[in-house]
Amino acid sequence: MLAAFGQRAVDTVPEDLDSLELTWLVAEFEQRYGLQLDLDDDRFGAVRTVDDATGLLREAVLADRAGARP
């Protein structure tokens, strides 16, 4: 998904995310998977890397499958 932001090659996506990339990723994720993430400033601010974002999004999917929204 992040490679689509700025139309870059997958291998050029850096591990560190800036707030604009993270905002775009969350919006893209919500639209693609039909999930609404309710992120407070602390949770949003704690995501700094692709791995952090992956963990957060995985949490959202697992919570949705369990019937609870993150």
Q: Which two tokens stand for residue 27?
A: 């919006």
Tell me if 21 sits within 8 A of 44, measured CB to CB. no
Tell me if 59 sits within 8 A of 69, measured CB to CB. no
- With a pLDDT cut of 90, the percent of the chain lying above it is 51
- Three-state secondary structure string covering 24-47: HHHHHHHHHHCCCCCCCHHHHHHC
35-46 per-position pLDDT tens digit: 888 888 888 889
> For residue 68, what pLDDT band results from cuts at 50, 70 and 90?
low
Residue ranges per structural domain of the chain = 14-66
Looking at residue 47, its pLDDT comes to 94
Fold of 14-66: 1.10.1200
Looking at residue 67, its pLDDT comes to 82
Average pLDDT over residues 5-20: 92
- Whose tokens are 């990339």? That residue is 21
